[in-house]
């Protein structure tokens, strides 16, 4: 039987050297003989830590399995006999839990299950592969049967066994499961296990993405470029493949939202189209940031003349509009940089320094805490700048 690669992740890692904290009150994970290679936030109150060297020794691909550490430096899962695995949110960003706090949990010799936000096992380990997509989990057992589990109710919605070997489950949205067959073609299953879009209809595409508002992105090679178009729920091509795909965006970033999607033409100019391919914002911009509250920021830049930079805001109809109101959250801290020293810290919404620039790199706050780096080591701080944990990893794990 062919070795499965059900939840193999292709991850881009930026390795940065990190921070030594001087605060005497900070805790350190001293009980651990080794300092983790990587660290990232797992869920409120917990960090994900990775001992990639040890995992490789044990024949486990280390990037996919992580230990869990609390803010006191105690290991909840050791990353070897028990671990959690990365999952992705709807925008393709890495996370270690979904919006309801569920995480993929692994136990050596048993397989994969699910834990909740309190690290209690709610789906017993026993699956050979597993992925979480928003409120649903797709799990595969040793016989190749797929289970669709609704996580909030912990109920199995459907079980079925595909009539071919699935190389990887790529995504799940709008009631359709995107699968890759033996690394040679894509198709979509419906919730009952029937083929919603057969392989033959997608045979002309190199890759496909999940459905968003009735449209799924599909990709074709064209010279040195990968061009993108969109199909409907029957597999019919609605928008021809004529837009450039940037790998760093991720497939999920090209999904429709509010009937709009930001794409780039073959001259690498950004614009906005609707679900039928009609141009809403013309392709003249250097880049367009994602819509927030119905507004998108579009920028024209001139590398030879930075002062000629033009910024406009558009609504969903493509009409020019005013910028959104400033964030009124008094608790928001933004990263600020000292031009003279090059060090980073944090300021409030009015630009007042709250945590003085003293870090080589400061990362965004997550539930009241932030990871910071200095002199090759990582620390965890709170919003007052107090060091909660110091020397907790060698590197920060970032997905691009």
3-state secondary structure of 307: helix
- Whether 369 shows a pLDDT value over 80: the answer reads yes
Provide the CA 354 distance to its chain's centre, in angstroms: 29
Query: Which of 218, 249, 219 is CA-nearest to residue 233?
Result: 218
Cβ atoms of 313 and 272 within 8 Å: the answer is: no
- Whether 261 shows a pLDDT value over 90: the answer reads yes
Quick one: which H or E segment has residue 150?
A: strand 146-150
Model confidence at 4, in pLDDT bands (50, 70, 90)?
Answer: very low
Quick one: which H or E segment has residue 378?
A: strand 377-382
- Whether 246 shows a pLDDT value over 80: the answer reads no
3-state secondary structure of 312: strand
How many whole angstroms separate alpha carbon 291 and alpha carbon 300?
A: 17
| pLDDT at site 16 | 30
Least confident of 41-50, 320-329, 387-396: 320-329
Sheet containing 176-181: order of strands: 166-173, 176-181, 185-189, 195-197
The upper half-sphere exposure of residue 331, i.e. CA atoms within 13 Å in the direction of its Cβ, equals: 7
Quick one: which H or E segment has residue 52?
A: helix 52-57
- Whether 29 shows a pLDDT value over 70: the answer reads no
In order of 23, 104, 159, 164, 328, the CA distances from 143 in angstroms are 53, 20, 12, 12, 53
DSSP state of 248: G
Q: Given 3-state DSSP classes, what are the helix, strand and coil percentages for the chain, each rounded to the nearest 5?
A: 5, 45, 45
- Whether 378 shows a pLDDT value over 70: the answer reads yes
- Convert the pLDDT of each residue in 330-360 to its tens digit: 567 999 999 999 999 999 888 899 999 999 9
3-state secondary structure of 64: helix
34 burial level (CB within 10 Å; 0-12, 13-18, 19+) = exposed
The mean pLDDT value of the chain amounts to 83
Other C-beta atoms within 10 Å of 296: how many? Answer: 24
| pLDDT at site 183 | 61
- Whether 304 shows a pLDDT value over 90: the answer reads no
- Convert the pLDDT of each residue in 172-191 to its tens digit: 889 999 888 876 788 899 88
β partners of residue 345: 336
Provide the CA 204 distance to its chain's centre, in angstroms: 28
Least confident of 99-103, 124-128, 160-164, 296-300: 160-164
Query: Which of 188, 265, 200 is CA-nearest to residue 232?
Result: 188
Cβ atoms of 149 and 168 within 8 Å: the answer is: no
């Amino acid at each position: 039987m062919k070795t499965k690669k059900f939840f193999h992740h292709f991850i881009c890692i930026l390795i940065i050297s990190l921070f030594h904290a001087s605060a005497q009150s900070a805790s350190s994970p001293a009980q651990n003989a080794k300092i983790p290679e990587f660290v990232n936030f797992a869920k409120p109150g917990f960090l994900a830590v990775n001992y990639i060297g040890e995992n490789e020794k044990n024949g486990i691909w280390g990037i996919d399995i992580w230990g869990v550490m609390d803010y006191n430096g105690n290991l909840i899962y050791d990353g070897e006999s028990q671990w959690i695995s990365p999952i992705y949110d709807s925008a393709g960003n890495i996370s270690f839990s979904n919006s309801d706090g569920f995480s993929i949990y692994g136990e050596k010799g048993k397989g994969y299950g699910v834990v909740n936000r309190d690290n209690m096992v709610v789906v017993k380990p026993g699956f050979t592969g597993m992925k979480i997509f928003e409120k649903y989990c797709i799990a595969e057992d040793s016989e190749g049967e797929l289970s669709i589990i609704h996580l909030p109710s912990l109920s199995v919605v459907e079980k079925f066994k595909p009539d071919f070997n699935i190389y990887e489950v790529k995504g799940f949205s709008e009631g359709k499961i995107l699968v890759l067959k033996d690394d040679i073609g894509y198709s979509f299953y419906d919730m009952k296990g029937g083929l919603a879009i057969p392989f033959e209809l997608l045979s002309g595409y190199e890759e496909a993405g999940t459905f968003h508002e009735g449209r799924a992105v599909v990709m074709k090679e064209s010279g040195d470029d990968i061009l993108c178009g969109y199909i409907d729920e029957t597999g019919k091509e609605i928008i021809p493949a004529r837009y450039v795909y940037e790998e760093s965006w991720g497939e999920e970033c090209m999904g429709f939202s509010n009937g709009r999607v930001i794409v780039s033409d073959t001259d690498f100019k950004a614009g906005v189209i609707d679900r039928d391919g009609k141009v809403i914002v013309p392709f003249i911009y250097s880049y367009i940031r994602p819509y927030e509250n119905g507004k998108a920021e579009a920028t024209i830049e001139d590398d030879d003349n930075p002062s000629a930079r033009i910024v406009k805001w558009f609504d969903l109809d493509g009409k020019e509009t005013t910028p959104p109101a400033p964030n009124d959250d008094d608790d928001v801290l933004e990263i600020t940089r000292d031009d003279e020293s090059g060090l980073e810290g944090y300021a409030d919404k009015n630009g007042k320094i709250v945590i003085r620039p003293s870090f080589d790199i400061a990362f965004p706050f997550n539930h009241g805490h932030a990871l910071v780096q200095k002199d090759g080591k990582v620390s965890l701080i709170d919003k007052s700048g107090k060091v909660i944990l110091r020397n907790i990893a060698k590197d920060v794990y970032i997905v691009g």
